Amino acid sequence: MNDGIKKFIPRETLDEIKELSRYKKIVVHGVGLSIGSYDGYSEEYLRLLDTLYEEINFEWHSEHLGYIMVEGKTLGTMISLPRTDETVDMISERVLKIIKRYDREFLLENIIRIVPDYDSDYSESEFMNKISSNTGCGFILDVYNLQCDEHNHGFDLHKYLSEIDISKAREIHIANGTVEDGFMLDAHCDTVMDSTIELTKQILVMKNCGVKLVNYELLDEAIPAMGEEAIADEYKRLSQIFCA
């Protein structure tokens, strides 16, 4: 796939992560793999991951269960996949290749669905469980994305959580966003809502929950509007809640 992405990670960035890895565990989270593109995932992204794999001893790595390109053409956003047998087979085959290539646990994250739902063979939970059971991959549960889907489409979030194989969840992502034309969007631009925190707490005490990390997501673009002090305060607040 010719995706025109960056061909390398700057040396100073690698050195900074290496230094951090001396006293912190590192996990890798990508947005450029496009694992769901019918014509193949991004080899350029994997080459970037190769560099990290060679230089950094990361714990696990993860990507989004969606696609950002078609035939090398960038869509400009991430789009959710139809939950069909064809998709399950394609994703499973690719996940197995990735797990073999890096010898690290690989996680897939649920993304917000904006396009109308396609007539599917699987429910959202069945879809994730099937891919996981086919491949052994884990999950990221993006709690805010689940809340967006609940708000935007009437998605049954609690049914999903009762059906998903929670032992395979390794990370929870929490964030906040915006509301546009009545749609909740995952803009990653604000402090976390109380409802997101409460839901996260509920997940963490679920029987056999495999979550090891709660990740507060904030885009660089949100920093000027939020301010560094507010971000530091939010980090402290979340740390007190989830690291106590």
Partner 1 sequence: MDLKTLQLKLLDILKEKHIPSDEDEKYIKDVLSSKNLTVLKDIIYFWRSDELARYCNFTSAYLKKINAFDDKVKEYYRVHNTSGYIEVLGKEFLNYLKSDIDKLTVFVAGFELSMIEVNSGSENDFFIETCYEPSDVFNFVYSDSEYPSEKKEKFIVRVSSELENNFTVINTN
Q: Which one, 117 or 198, has the nearer CB to partner 1?
A: 117
Strands (E), 16-83: 28-29, 60-64, 67-70, 73-79
Q: Which one, 5 or 193, has the nearer CB to partner 1?
A: 5
CB atoms within 10 A of CB 170: 21
Q: With contact defined as beta carbons under 8 Å apart, do 105 and 169 qualify?
A: no
Q: Which one, 70 or 96, has the nearer CB to partner 1?
A: 70
Residues of the shown chain interacting with partner 1 in the complex, contacts defined by CB under 8 A: 3-6, 31-32, 37-39, 67-68, 70-77, 79, 81-82, 84, 86-87, 90, 114-116, 118-119, 180-183, 185, 221
Min dist. Cβ of residue 214 to partner 1 (A): 26
Question: What DSSP letter does each residue of 123-176 carry, written as one string?
Answer: -HHHHHHHHHHHH--EEEEEHHHHHHHHHHH---HHHHHHHS-GGGEEEEEE--
Min dist. Cβ of residue 51 to partner 1 (A): 15
Cα distance between residue 104 and residue 137, in whole Å = 10
Min dist. Cβ of residue 182 to partner 1 (A): 8
Q: Which one, 123 or 167, has the nearer CB to partner 1?
A: 123
* H or E segment and range at residue 213: strand 213-216
Q: Which one, 6 or 25, has the nearer CB to partner 1?
A: 6
Backbone angles phi, psi at 174, to 5 degrees: -125, 145
Min dist. Cβ of residue 38 to partner 1 (A): 4
Min dist. Cβ of residue 47 to partner 1 (A): 14
Q: With contact defined as beta carbons under 8 Å apart, do 138 and 92 qualify?
A: no
